A and B are shown apart, each in its own frame.
Chain A
Amino acid sequence: MPIRFDASLAHFEGDCTVEEALPLNDWLLAEKGPAVDLRRCTGLHTALLQLLLATRPALASGPEDPFLARWVAPLLHGPKG
């Protein structure tokens, strides 16, 4: 399973597809202080990205994937826009 929910921390692993959107949505709704670990994430579906952008969970660990690290991670760190 590409997203492993570990209490208030979600581990994104490998290629995370649109299938994860609903579980992620529910988890984000349920958790008080959610945080995400993108370190081993290699693909992030747009549906997941926009959930993260809309809710801004804490970024426990940034992605190692160069594309995500350069263009996506800063959005999750930066000020909410």
Chain B
Amino acid sequence: MSSLFEQFLVESRELVEAAGAGLLRLEKDVGDRDAVNEVFRAFHTLKGATGLFDWPAFTRLVHAAEDLLDAVRDGRARATPELVDRLLAVLDQCSRWIDAIEATEALPADADAQGRRLAAALSGATGTAEETPAARPPGFDWLDGTGVADARPLTAVAYDPDPECFFNGDDPLALVRRIPELVWLRIEPTTPWPAGLAGFDPYRCVLRFRALSAAPQADIAPVFRTAPDQVRFAALPPAAPPAAPEPAPTPVAPPPPEGALAMAEAILREQRRALGMDAGPAEMDGRIAAAARTAAGVLAAIGRSGEVEAVATAAATARAAGRPGPLADHLATLLAGFAPAEPLLAAPFPNAPAADSRAARRALRVEPERIDRLMALVGELVVAKNRLPFVIRETEDLSGGTAPARHLRDAYDAIDSLTDALQDAVLGLRMLPLAQVFQPLPRLVRDLAQRLGKQADLQLSGERTEADKDVLAVLGEPLIHLVRNALDHGIEAPDARRAAGKPEAGTIRVEARQERDSVIVEVADDGAGIDAGRVRRKAVANGAVDPARAASLSEEEALALVFLPGVSTASAVTDVSGRGVGMDAVRTAVESAGGRIAIASTPGTGTRVRLTLPLTMVITPIMVVAAGGAQFGVPTGAVAEVARVPAAEVRRVKHAESFALRGAVVPLFRLHRLLDLPPAADRRSGDIETVLVLRIDREPVGLAVDGVRERAEVVLKPLSGVLAGLRGYSGTAELGDGRLLPVINLRELL
């Protein structure tokens, strides 16, 4: 059961994602049949998946969405932007439910009410279908009074202009005049007319408009481009002046979904297998009870509730006997009644259309931790392998270059190249397409643009470019931030763009490509651009740079100041972005993954931010050192040598310590002090100090540690979450034995 449950979690999230992507395409073009089909299939499969568990509210909601989409497919209903909105709301709810199910294995208590609310909203979002008259959306009650009966399908338009719209240059009557194929129009005051003109504000719009048109919504909506939030549409079926009262929506138990039978069979088979495994008496009792419960649920889900009681009887017999035999036999009988078994893994949700393209992707799911472990082991293998050349040299010295020593060297060469190939192969396992980090962007742009009253077209390219999963993990947040910034601060409001001679809809382009060992992601907008002078002034005002230095910077360098903490380009703080923490956070995240960030901007034309990240997480050789009772990793590349300095030779001037190394005075720092840790307990004066001699900016610096433990080759993982802001560490590394080691960022620390 548990593996199926986990499979459900993964599958359902993918389906929600697929449906979401399809809906966004549908929103762009409400006539996109492929998109309708894609969304329908996703909901259909999701329904099948939920139906196998006991979550009636979930199944009912998804079922309602599926029905609606089916009607759209058949032409019984029409897709509208409003419908897309509500289906997206359904998907959001599904995501929340999946999260809740993952956490508690059950739906939240309010699931039923939430589901009904969303399902009711759905039924009002599209044209009334003949078979299933849908509730009229709120605000369309006036449809009863039109007296229009048209043989064509009509679109109802409810336009409630903003009272202040005259100030925006809107003339509602002029807009209404442009409605194509106008069939019927009513102009009415929003409130009863006052007795006279006293107190009447002629600049406040007090009229509203109700109209019917024979044109589809897609042709009408452009008329209201400047006032999309003030107009609502509803599609009406031909010659059906809505008169019949609404039948109350009756919750219908869904019929067994296609594919459910195979799934049900697989669940029963799994339960039977579980019963066959060894267990103590108490555990076996629980297992029998669980198997009986599951089997009953499965039978109910496929409409065979009549057989539930027999299962309960068999379970009772089994529990009384203290062995699973009777129930296992009963399950075997049930299983015999199914069609020949289909292998579950090959078709997790059989009959799911659109599975073809994803089948390959589903072939094997491996938990990332397993690959990480493999990676750590390969790292240790490389280290172990690197000890061989010394052994071989010793052997050669002893034997004087005889055949066995030569054979040893040949074997080493083979192991060497195999290890390299192995490392590449493991790194390859971790490569994922960037589509993953692009996935949330379309919805983000859509929702944010709506909120900001802007229009933006998001163009994604290079989704297939692959990068290491850790690189993707680093990339996700900054990318969202950059796109949000582009929309919030880059793209201007439609009227400003019009005034600047640009198309009203801005363009945000996100491009990914591979260049040698790097993956490059660019976020470009055609918005207002950034004024380098303003960044310069802001940075000086914040004390981020001193005025003399700011003045000496080139335009390009001045723009890069936006990446400093506290420098924001936005003059006003919005609730979306503009607090000046964003770009700094983006830079920190990218640099911690070994990447670079660059910005270019032309005022009036747009801004382009380029992230350059390593394609794979670089394998870093580190030394494991002890300090203050704990162990830390230090990148070997920064260590020029390990010196052993008698404690007596360390000179102290006030708190500053130094020692002499080949005639030069080298400043000495102690790692435990830099990290605010207590000194090691067993340290005595007169000891020999272990000092890592580091080269930082070509100057030697001594770092005293309590000891060097071992060397390792590791994949450095940047700190994430709340730890991401921690300075002084460049990340963590997993050692071959599973230990997690903090790795020190020497440059930050010193």
Contacts and interface: CB of A to CB of B under 8 A. Distances in A.
Contact of A50 (B177, B185, B189): B189
Nearest to B185: A71
Contacts of A80: 193
A55 B193 CA distance: 9
A57 B530 CA distance: 55
A22 interface: yes
Interface string A34-45: 000000000111
Given A45-B171, A46-B172, A55 B197 contact: yes
A18 B168 CA distance: 12
A46 B193 contact: no
A1 interface: no
Nearest to A28: B197
B174 interface: yes
Given A28-B197, A54-B197, A18 B206 contact: no
A54 B203 contact: no
Contacts of B182: 71
Contacts of A22: 202
A45 B194 contact: no
B205 interface: yes
B207 A50 contact: yes
Contacts of B202: 21-22, 24-25, 47, 50-51
Contacts of B142: none
A55 B206 CA distance: 14
Nearest to A65: B177
Interface in B184-221: 185, 187-189, 193-194, 196-197, 200, 202-203, 205-207
A44 to B, nearest CB: 6
Contact of B174 (A45, A55, A75): A45
Given A18-B166, A71-B187, A54 B200 contact: yes
B207 A46 contact: yes
Nearest to A29: B197
B506 interface: no
A47 B205 contact: yes
B550 to A, nearest CB: 48
A2 B202 CA distance: 17
Given A18-B166, A21-B202, A49 B207 contact: yes
A75 B205 contact: no
Contacts of B194: 54
Given A18-B171, A25-B200, A72-B187, 5 more contacts: A18-B203, A45-B174, A50-B202, A51-B202, A72-B173
Interface of B: 161, 166, 171-174, 177, 182, 185, 187-189, 193-194, 196-197, 200, 202-203, 205-207
Interface of A: 17-18, 21-22, 24-25, 28-29, 43-47, 49-51, 53-55, 67, 71-72, 75, 80-81
- 10 residue pairs, one from A and one from B, having the closest CB atoms: A21-B202, A46-B173, A25-B202, A71-B185, A46-B172, A54-B193, A67-B177, A45-B171, A50-B207, A29-B197
